[in-house]
C-alpha cells in the first residue's frame, strides 16, 4: 500500500508457453518493491523439475522462489501451492502445499474428477497470501485459450476470477503470429473473462521499436484492449531460468586460462540452477554435455541432481558416459556429485520398494564408498553448514558408508549432522543443492587448479550479482512499459 492505496491483484496470462510470463512477473515484483509496495508472486500450479526449499522445509517451483527474491521477501508454499514434477512423458509427482502427495497419470490428473479439492487448496493459498502482501503478481500457465481444459483449469482465468485480478495478456512476437495469437486468445474467452483482460504486453521484440507503432494501434483496434508495452529482447541481463531447454547449447569448447567444468547432461536433470554461479564466475568456463570426449577434456565433472536417479544411471552406463567419468577421474579430473549425482557416484543405488520403477539395484560409478537406498519419504529443508554457508535439500533417499568404509563427510550442518562424502579434493558428493552458491566452497573446489587461472582469479559475489540483475531487469521493463496506465488499471473501480 502506497499513500493508502491498495492495488488489485495482477495476472500475467500468456498466448502460449515460454512467452516470458515468469520473467515479466519477476520484473514487476522488483518494480513494485522499488515503488514502495509489498508485492508477492503467485502461481497456483507450476510444472517444473527445478524446485526450491522454503525456510519451512517445503517445496515450491524455483521460478516463484526467484520472484520472491526479486520482491525482497522469503519464499513460501502459498506462492506456488501446486507443483507438478514430471517423471515421464505421462506421469508427474504432485506436490501440494510443499509436500508430495503421490504420482499421477496426466490423463487422470487433468480430468474433472477430484479437481474441486485442489481448487479449494490453491484458492485458500491465494487468500492467505493476499492478506499479507499487496499487490499479488500472479502468473498463468501456458496458453489461456486451451478451451478443452477450461472446466479443469486451476491456474489461468478461473484463478483470476477468484482473485478479482486484472489480467495482462503476454504475447511473444519473436516466434511470429503475434496478432493472431493475441486476438485469438481474447476472442476465445467467455464474455466474463474477456472483460478481465485489461492490457496487452508484446514481449521479445527485436529491432527498431518504431517499426511496430502501426502494429500496436492495429492490435488495440482489433482487441479493444490497450497495449501497455513492447518489451525488447535482451541478452545482457541474467535471471535464473525455469526450464533447462537451452542447456545443451552452452559452449563446449574448452578455454585456456580458466577451469573447465562439465555438467553431465542427464535426461532427467533437475535443479540446474545449482550451476548459475559457476556460469558467471570469471575463473570458470562451464558447459553441459554427455559427450565422452568433452568430459575427458574437462578439469571438473559435476554429476547434477536427477528426478529419476536409477533411470539416468542406467543410461550413463549404456551410453559410455559412466566409463568416461571413471577414466577422467583416474587421469586427474575432479568429480563431484550433487543429490542424485552424489547417489550415482557410490557403490550402488537400491530401490527395494520400486519407488522409481522396476529396477531394484544398479551398481554406481564406485568413486565414493557409499550405498544409497531410495525412500518414499522426501527430505526437503534449508540448511546451514561449515560456519555460515547456506543451501537446501530436496531428495528421496538415504546414503551411508558402504561396508566398513569410514565416515568422511563433505560438510557438517550447524546441528552437527554430517552430509555427503569426500575422498579427497578431487572426489566428493553431497545432497546440498545451492552448495555452489557459497564463495568459500567454490574457492575450495577450484584451489587445485590455481595454476591455470588467469587475471580473472577472484571470488565471485553471487548475491550482489543477482540483486544487480533484478534491478537491471526492472529498469529494462519499466522503460518500455506504461507504468502510469498499469497503475490506473490496478487502482480502478471495475
> Is residue 249 one of the residues assigned to a domain?
no
CATH number at residue 359: 3.40.50.880
Span 271-295, average pLDDT: 91
With bands split at pLDDT 50, 70 and 90, how would you rate the model's confidence at 5? confident
CATH number at residue 162: 3.40.50.300
> Residues 153, 31: one domain?
yes
Question: What are the Cα distances from residue 114, in Å, to 88, 110, 120?
Answer: 22, 9, 11
> Residues 334, 444: one domain?
yes
With bands split at pLDDT 50, 70 and 90, how would you rate the model's confidence at 166? very high
| Model pLDDT, residue 155 | 92
**Whether 29 is catalytic:** no
Residues 491 and 350: their CA atoms lie apart, in Å, by 57
Cis amide linkage into residue 388, ω under 30° from 0: no
346 neighbors 399 (Cβ within 8 angstroms): yes
Number of domains in the chain: 2
Per-residue pLDDT for 240 more than 90? no
C-alpha cell at 296: 575427458
| Model pLDDT, residue 191 | 94
| Model pLDDT, residue 4 | 55
> Residues 54, 185: one domain?
yes
> Is residue 223 one of the residues assigned to a domain?
yes
Which range has the worst mean pLDDT, 35-49, 143-157, 223-237, 326-340?
A: 143-157
26 neighbors 70 (Cβ within 8 angstroms): yes
Given 339, 350, 354, 463, the catalytic residue? 339
Which range has the worst mean pLDDT, 94-98, 241-245, 364-368, 467-471?
A: 241-245
pLDDT per residue over 461-471, tens digit each? 888 899 999 99
pLDDT per residue over 391-410, tens digit each? 999 999 999 999 999 999 99
Span 233-257, average pLDDT: 67
| Model pLDDT, residue 493 | 74
> Residues 264, 350: one domain?
yes
Span 21-49, average pLDDT: 95
**Whether 433 is catalytic:** yes
Indicate the pairing of strand 259-264 with strand 300-303. Answer: parallel
E-state strands within 184-306: 197-205, 227-232, 259-264, 269-270, 284-289, 300-303, 305-306
C-alpha cell at 341: 549425482
Per-residue pLDDT for 189 more than 60? yes
> Is residue 246 one of the residues assigned to a domain?
no
pLDDT per residue over 322-348, tens digit each? 999 999 999 999 999 999 999 999 999
> Residues 160, 281: one domain?
no
- Residue % of the chain over a pLDDT of 70: 93
Per-residue pLDDT for 157 more than 80? yes
| Model pLDDT, residue 169 | 97
Given 8, 76, 329, 433, the catalytic residue? 433
Among 51, 5, 55, 65, smallest CA distance to 32 is for 5
Computed over every residue of the chain, the mean pLDDT equals 90
Residues 47 and 87: their CA atoms lie apart, in Å, by 11
pLDDT per residue over 443-483, tens digit each? 999 999 888 776 456 677 888 899 999 999 999 999 999 99
Among 335, 353, 491, smallest CA distance to 424 is for 335
140 neighbors 11 (Cβ within 8 angstroms): yes
| Model pLDDT, residue 89 | 66
> Is residue 461 one of the residues assigned to a domain?
no
> Is residue 32 one of the residues assigned to a domain?
yes
Per-residue pLDDT for 3 more than 60? no
C-alpha cell at 327: 577414466
242 neighbors 61 (Cβ within 8 angstroms): yes
pLDDT per residue over 375-396, tens digit each? 988 899 999 999 899 999 999 9
**pTM (predicted TM-score):** 0.76
> Residues 430, 482: one domain?
no
> Residues 349, 483: one domain?
no
| Model pLDDT, residue 255 | 62
> Residues 435, 483: one domain?
no
Per-residue pLDDT for 6 more than 80? yes
The domain of 202 spans: 10-238+468-490
> Is residue 16 one of the residues assigned to a domain?
yes
Per-residue pLDDT for 95 more than 60? yes
> Residues 186, 216: one domain?
yes
Per-residue pLDDT for 249 more than 70? no
> Is residue 152 one of the residues assigned to a domain?
yes
| Model pLDDT, residue 44 | 95
> Is residue 459 one of the residues assigned to a domain?
no
**177 membership: H or E segment, kind and range:** none
189 neighbors 225 (Cβ within 8 angstroms): no
> Residues 76, 143: one domain?
yes
> Residues 307, 373: one domain?
yes
261 neighbors 224 (Cβ within 8 angstroms): no
| Model pLDDT, residue 207 | 86
> Residues 201, 63: one domain?
yes
Amino acid at each position: 500500500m502506497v499513500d493508502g492505496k491498495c492495488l488489485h491483484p495482477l495476472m500475467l496470462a500468456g498466448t502460449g508457453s515460454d512467452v516470458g510470463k515468469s520473467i515479466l512477473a519477476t520484473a514487476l515484483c522488483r518494480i513494485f518493491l522499488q515503488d514502495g509496495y509489498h508485492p508477492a508472486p503467485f502461481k497456483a500450479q507450476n510444472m517444473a523439475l527445478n524446485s526450491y526449499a522454503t525456510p519451512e522445509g517445503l517445496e515450491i517451483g524455483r521460478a516463484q522462489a526467484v520472484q520472491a527474491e526479486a520482491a525482497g521477501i522469503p519464499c513460501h508454499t502459498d506462492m506456488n501451492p501446486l507443483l507438478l514434477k514430471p517423471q515421464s512423458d505421462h506421469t508427474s509427482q504432485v506436490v501440494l502445499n510443499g509436500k508430495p502427495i503421490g504420482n499421477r497419470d496426466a490423463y487422470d490428473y487433468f480430468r474433472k474428477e477430484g479437481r474441486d479439492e485442489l481448487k479449494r487448496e490453491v484458492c485458500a493459498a491465494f487468500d492467505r497470501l493476499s492478506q499479507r502482501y499487496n499487490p499479488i503478481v500472479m502468473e498463468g500457465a501456458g496458453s489461456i485459450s486451451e478451451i478443452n481444459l477450461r472446466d479443469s483449469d486451476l491456474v489461468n482465468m478461473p484463478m483470476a476470477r477468484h482473485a478479482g485480478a486484472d489480467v495482462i495478456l503476454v504475447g511473444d512476437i519473436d516466434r511470429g503470429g503475434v496478432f493472431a495469437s493475441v486476438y485469438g486468445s481474447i476472442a476465445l474467452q467467455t464474455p466474463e473473462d474477456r472483460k478481465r483482460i485489461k492490457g496487452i504486453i508484446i514481449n521479445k521484440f527485436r529491432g527498431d521499436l518504431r517499426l511496430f507503432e502501426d502494429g500496436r494501434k492495429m492490435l488495440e483496434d482489433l482487441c479493444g484492449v490497450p497495449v501497455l508495452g513492447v518489451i525488447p529482447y535482451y541478452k545482457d541481463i541474467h535471471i535464473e531460468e525455469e526450464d533447462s531447454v537451452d542447456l545443451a547449447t552452452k559452449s563446449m569448447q574448452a578455454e585456456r586460462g580458466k577451469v573447465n567444468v562439465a555438467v553431465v547432461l542427464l535426461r532427467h536433470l533437475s535443479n540446474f540452477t545449482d550451476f548459475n554461479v559457476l556460469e558467471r564466475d570469471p575463473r570458470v568456463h562451464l558447459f553441459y554435455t554427455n559427450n565422452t570426449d568433452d568430459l575427458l577434456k574437462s578439469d571438473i565433472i559435476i554429476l547434477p541432481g536427477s528426478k529419476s536417479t536409477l533411470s539416468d544411471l542406467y543410461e550413463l552406463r549404456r551410453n559410455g558416459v559412466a566409463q568416461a567419468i571413471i577414466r577422467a577421474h583416474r587421469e586427474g579430473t575432479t568429480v563431484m556429485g550433487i543429490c542424485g549425482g552424489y547417489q550415482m557416484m557410490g557403490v550402488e543405488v537400491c530401490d527395494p520398494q520400486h519407488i522409481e520403477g522396476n529396477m531394484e539395484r544398479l551398481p554406481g560409478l564406485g568413486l565414493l564408498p557409499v550405498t544409497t537406498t531410495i525412500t518414499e519419504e522426501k527430505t526437503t529443508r534449508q540448511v546451514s553448514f561449515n560456519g555460515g554457508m547456506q543451501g537446501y535439500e530436496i531428495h528421496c533417499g538415504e546414503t551411508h558408508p558402504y561396508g566398513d568404509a569410514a565416515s568422511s563427510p563433505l560438510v557438517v550442518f550447524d546441528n552437527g549432522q554430517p552430509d555427503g562424502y569426500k575422498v579427497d579434493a578431487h572426489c566428493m558428493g553431497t545432497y546440498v543443492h545451492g552448495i555452489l552458491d557459497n564463495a568459500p566452497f567454490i574457492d575450495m573446489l577450484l584451489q587445485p587448479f590455481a595454476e591455470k587461472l588467469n587475471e580473472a582469479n577472484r571470488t565471485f559475489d553471487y548475491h550482489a550479482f543477482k540483486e544487480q540483475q533484478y534491478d537491471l531487469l526492472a529498469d529494462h521493463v519499466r522503460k518500455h512499459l506504461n507504468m502510469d496506465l498499469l497503475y490506473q488499471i490496478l487502482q480502478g473501480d471495475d
